[in-house]
């Protein structure tokens, strides 16, 4: 089992080498930065900078929050996701037994932060915060809970009075880069949820495409039913309401049929013997909240 894991990691590294990530020109994209340079860098990261997980684990000082991208080869083995994006929060807790982060992004329910060998606690929060009207909310408010006591971030100068004689810290996410590994998914929540149906978001990153449609056993494989909308970053998307069950589908990109790039689950369409992407839509396992 362990041998299989190392083989898979080796294949991943070989793949990265093959696409030029570790070539000289690729290093400009990856960003060959030490943890010290991460500590000294500006809060606004270059969109072409990509760090490694070991750089987070090697931080020797806490830094102001910033949006980052980083590679985690270990997690790819289990999750299939190599690139991670999010807001990096850190706290110097060398002499502290526990540090948690509580904020608007997790309904102020405190979550544990990871401690590295230098006593720096860190976590990366996915930038998925939305307002009540389902627009993206760029303002992330937070506090640290250190050994059970709440405190603001000493490295972040953006803080607001909390009404109880203290402050909470604030980070404003100006922008985030395009997720080129965008994939189809079942949403946990959307603007219009229905009791018996789930919301499926079909999406794919194709900046050079003009017209993208999705066909599947949910629309009788009819190419005239479901057109995806393209945003300015090159991501095509479409939300559909589907009953729980297993679905097979393909994208039609400018007249050419293709699989869902970042969905590793495929099947065979019996009548045509074609490869198709597969998606399992689970039943809802939680109570549906009423929308105001």
Name the more confident of 10 and 63.
63
How much is the average pLDDT of 226-240? Answer: 90
**What DSSP string runs through 80-125?**
S--EEEEEEEEEE-TT-S-EEEEEGGGTT--EE-EE-TTSEEEEEE
- Locate 23 and state its tokens: 């070539």
How much is the average pLDDT of 115-135? Answer: 84
Pairing of strands 51-52, 66-71: parallel
Task: Compute CA distances 215 → 157, 223, 250, 254, 281, whole Å.
Answer: 50, 6, 6, 13, 16
In which band, very low, low, confident or very high, does the pLDDT at 96 lie, cut at 50, 70 and 90?
A: confident
Region of 68 (left: φ > 0; alpha: ψ -120 to 50; beta: rest) is beta
Coil, helix or strand for 146?
Answer: strand
Residue 58: other Cβ atoms inside 10 A:
17
Asked if 134 and 190 count as a contact pair (C-beta separation under 8 A), the reply is: yes
Angle 20-21-24 (CA atoms, 0-180°, nearest 5)? 75
- Locate 193 and state its tokens: 């949820």
Name the more confident of 270 and 216.
216
Asked if 203 and 183 count as a contact pair (C-beta separation under 8 A), the reply is: yes
Residue 21: other Cβ atoms inside 10 A:
16
Angle 116-129-188 (CA atoms, 0-180°, nearest 5)? 100
Q: How far separated are the first and last CA of the chain, in Å rounded?
A: 50
In which band, very low, low, confident or very high, does the pLDDT at 100 lie, cut at 50, 70 and 90?
A: very high
Residue 153: other Cβ atoms inside 10 A:
23
- Mean pLDDT taken over the chain: 79
Global pTM value: 0.56
Torsion sign, CA atoms 218, 263, 183, 256: negative
Pairing of strands 149-151, 185-186: unpaired
In which band, very low, low, confident or very high, does the pLDDT at 14 lie, cut at 50, 70 and 90?
A: very low
**What DSSP string runs through 225-266?**
T-BPEE-TTSEEEEEEEE-SEEEEEEEEETTEEE--TT---E
Give the per-residue pLDDT at 77.
65
Coil, helix or strand for 28?
Answer: helix
In which band, very low, low, confident or very high, does the pLDDT at 120 lie, cut at 50, 70 and 90?
A: very high
Coil, helix or strand for 47?
Answer: coil
Residue 53 is inside which H or E element, if any? helix 53-57
Q: Which of 127, 149, 150 is nearest to 159 (CA)?
A: 150
């Amino acid at each position: 089992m362990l041998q299989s894991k190392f083989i898979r990691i080796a294949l991943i590294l070989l793949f990265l080498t093959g696409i030029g990530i570790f070539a000289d020109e690729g290093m400009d994209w990856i960003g060959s930065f030490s943890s010290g340079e991460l500590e000294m860098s500006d809060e606004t990261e270059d969109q072409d900078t990509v760090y490694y997980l070991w750089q987070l684990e090697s931080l020797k000082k806490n830094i102001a929050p910033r949006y980052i991208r980083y590679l985690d080869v270990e997690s790819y083995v289990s999750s299939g996701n190599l690139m991670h994006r999010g807001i990096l929060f850190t706290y110097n807790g060398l002499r502290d037994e526990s540090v948690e982060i509580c904020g608007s992004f997790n309904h102020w329910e405190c979550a544990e932060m990871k401690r590295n060998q230098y006593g720096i606690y860190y976590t990366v929060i996915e930038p998925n915060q939305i307002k009540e009207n389902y627009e993206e909310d760029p303002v992330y408010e937070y506090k640290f809970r250190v050994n059970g006591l709440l405190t603001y971030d000493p490295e972040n100068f953006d803080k607001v009075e909390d009404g109880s004689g203290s402050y909470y810290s604030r980070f404003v996410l100006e922008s985030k880069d395009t997720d080129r590994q965008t994939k189809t998914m079942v949403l946990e929540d959307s603007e219009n949820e229905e009791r018996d149906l789930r919301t499926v978001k079909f999406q794919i990153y194709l900046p050079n495409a003009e017209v993208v449609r999705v066909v599947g056993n949910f629309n009788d494989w009819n190419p005239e039913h479901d057109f995806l909308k393209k945003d300015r970053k090159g991501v095509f998307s479409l939300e559909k309401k589907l009953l729980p069950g297993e679905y097979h589908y393909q994208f039609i990109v400018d007249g050419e049929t293709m699989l869902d790039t970042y969905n590793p689950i495929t099947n065979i369409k019996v009548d045509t013997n074609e490869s198709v992407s597969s998606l399992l839509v689970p039943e809802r396992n939680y109570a549906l909240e009423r929308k105001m």
